[in-house]
Amino acid sequence: MPNQRVANATNQSVSPFRFMKDVLSTVAIRDRGGTHPATLSGSHRLTSGTIAHRIHAPTNVDATDAGGKPRDIQVSTIINRPVSAVFARVADFEQWPQWEGSFVAVKRQSATPNMVGTVYWCTRKLPQVVESSFVITAYEPDQQVMIEGEWVGQFKPAGGYRLEAVADGTKVTSIGRPQLRGLFKLLTPVMAIMGTRLSKTYLSNLKRLVESR
């Protein structure tokens, strides 16, 4: 990959200070209304009535993680298309880089009959540029997809999307369950802020992409 250093996920380590700087820079760009590199060209802000978010205590917290417990991050939007059309886009993991901007590339490495357990190789650019993989942990057509990534240094990405038919189309909820370890646990509140704002951007991208078809 030209002009970029791609690291192996299991060997890569980034200091908490550099990680925080990257996180705060990302959040600051979104606050200024700028275009983050993860967004699609021509992106625009949605109104407060279009996207709502909430952060609450997760169900997957390890009781030993005192002072650095991960949080579920949930962000929802309404897409004016049928559930089947939205799910087709959400479940097309190799096309995630078109709208889920933390990914540069995604390729399937294995397959299972019901998708659960299927492994995908990916290149991520958040929290850093790195090659890693993720596995499908839940797959229910027209309802939800959930994934869990491998540890990238002190960060482990996990989460997915849930879909629900509503009067105006489809309600899509992004669910983030990032885990941190070591000193990175101190960044849990910052991760919640970053996760919420990036999820808004990704859902905005998804909404525009699906509704344009």
CA distance 153 to 102: 16
Q: What is the mean pLDDT of residues 3-21?
A: 50
Q: Is residue 151 part of a domain?
A: yes
> 82-97: per-residue pLDDT in tens?
999 999 999 999 999 9
In this prediction, residue 45 carries a pLDDT of 38
Q: What is the mean pLDDT of residues 4-23?
A: 51
In this prediction, residue 72 carries a pLDDT of 85
Q: Which residue has the higher pLDDT, 41 or 147?
A: 147
**pLDDT tops 80 at residue 21:** no
Q: Is residue 1 part of a domain?
A: no
Q: Is residue 118 part of a domain?
A: no
Q: In CATH, what number is assigned to the domain containing residue 162?
A: 3.30.530
Least confident of 8-12, 113-117, 164-168, 203-207: 8-12
Q: Is residue 79 part of a domain?
A: yes
**Could you tell me the residue range of the domain that residue 203 belongs to?**
7-92+140-211
In this prediction, residue 54 carries a pLDDT of 39
Cβ(199)–Cβ(176) below 8 Å: yes
Q: What is the mean pLDDT of residues 7-33?
A: 50
Average pLDDT over the chain, rounded to an integer: 78
Q: What is the mean pLDDT of residues 15-35?
A: 49
Residue 14 — pLDDT band, cuts 50, 70, 90? low
Q: Is residue 124 part of a domain?
A: no
Q: Is residue 99 part of a domain?
A: no
Q: How many domains does the chain contain in total? A: 1
Q: Is residue 183 part of a domain?
A: yes
**pLDDT tops 70 at residue 67:** no
In this prediction, residue 71 carries a pLDDT of 61
Within 10 angstroms of residue 99's Cβ, the number of other Cβ atoms is: 22
> 182-213: per-residue pLDDT in tens?
888 888 888 889 899 999 999 999 999 999 98
Provide the token pair at 134.
Answer: 């993720």
Q: Which residue has the higher pLDDT, 16 or 161?
A: 161
Q: Is residue 18 part of a domain?
A: yes
> Exposed, middle or buried, 137 (CB in 10 Å: 0-12/13-18/19+)?
middle
> In Å, what is the CA distance from 92 to each residue of 89, 122, 146?
5, 14, 13
